[in-house]
Structure 1
Amino acid sequence: MIARFAAFVVILYAFGFLWFAAALPQPAGDAKTDAIVVPTGGPGRIDRGLELLARRQARELLVTGVDREVKPAEFAAQYKVSARTMACCVTLGFAAVDTRSNAAETAAWVRHHKVQSIRLVTTDWHMRRAAGELDTTLPDDVKVVRDAVRSRPRLGILFLEYNKLIASVIVRMLPD
């Protein structure tokens, strides 16, 4: 009985991983939102967020999880963002250190800015976990558009992220 249950769990895990790796989230269309939220950590994320801001797909951009050592002027220089755009439209969030705290930082920013819709821009392999964390922290009436940045992840990255996703789902299911 225990061996059959263990085999079932292993098969379920394996099929779950295959689905996770083969069906990575895709970029979103041209839906406009109030704001764009970009957690730091993967190549192309910030560039995609700034591109969407320049195309006026949203009026504001939050980059969450920025290293405390980064100065806004350094960020602006690295990503070629004008001082005007930095002043009006870009917020650098320094409070987050991981995906869960990215969600908490985002939720506080959304409440403060009275945002009703966001476009979450993160790497395709990171999207499910980042969106799941946001789902638990944002008010129910805030719409989230998932906009995945395509990548070519190594198997090790996919394996690690799949396990992190499982762990985050389990933690979210536990009573407070």
Structure 2
Amino acid sequence: MIRRLVSAAVLVWALGFLWFAIALPGPVEAARTDAVIVPTGAAGRIERGLEVLQAGDARAMLVTGVDPEVRPIEFAKQFEVSMATMECCVSLGFSAVDTRGNAAETAQWVRARRVRSLRLVTTDWHMRRAAGELQRTLPDGVEVVRDAVPSQPSLRILFLEYHKLLASVVSRLWRGAKG
């Protein structure tokens, strides 16, 4: 009996990993939202967020998880953003150090600005966990559009992120069962 349960658990894990690795989320073509949210990390995220902002598909942008050493002028120079755009439309968040922190920092920013819809821009392999953590912390009624930046993740990255996603889901279920 135990052998069957272990075999079934391994099969479910393997099928889940296969789904996770093959069915990575993709980019969104056109979607207007109040804001665009970009957790720092893999290449292409900030550039994609700036594209959305410059296209007028969002009126404000939060880059969450920025290193405290980075100054707005340095960010503007690196990503070729005018200081006028930085002042009106780009917020740099310095308090987050991980995905859960990105979600908390974003939720606080969203509440302060009364954002009703946002576009989450992150890497394809990170999207499911980032969106899950974000949905858990956002105020009710905030619409989240998922805009994944395509990448070529290694098997190692996929393996680690799949397990982080599983841990995140189990943690949410555990907290939900307790509270």
**TM-score if structure 2 supplies the norm length?**
0.97
Match runs of 1:47-66 below 5 Å: 47-66=47-66
Q: Which residue of 2 aligns with 1:118?
A: 118
Residue segments in structure 2 that go unaligned for 5+ positions in a row: none
SS in 1 for 2:38: strand
Q: Which residue of 1 aligns with 2:144?
A: 144
Q: Deviation digits for residues 86-131 of structure 1, max 9, x if unmatched?
A: 0000000001000000000000000000000000000000000000
Q: Which residue of 2 aligns with 1:84?
A: 84
Q: Partner amino acid for 1:45?
A: R
- Counterparts of 1:57 and 1:42 in 2: how far apart (Å)? 22
SS in 2 for 1:97: coil
Q: Deviation digits for residues 48-90 of structure 1, max 9, x if unmatched?
A: 0001100000000000000011011100000000000000000
Deviation at 1:139, TM superposition (A): 1.5
CA RMSD of aligned residues (A): 0.6
Q: Partner amino acid for 1:25?
A: P
Match runs of 1:15-94 below 5 Å: 15-94=15-94
Sequence identity (%): 65
**TM-score if structure 1 supplies the norm length?**
0.99
Q: Which residue of 2 aligns with 1:13?
A: 13
- Counterparts of 2:40 and 2:77 in 1: how far apart (Å)? 17
Count of residues in correspondence between the two structures? 176
- Counterparts of 1:135 and 1:55 in 2: how far apart (Å)? 25
SS in 2 for 1:106: helix
Deviation at 1:20, TM superposition (A): 0.2
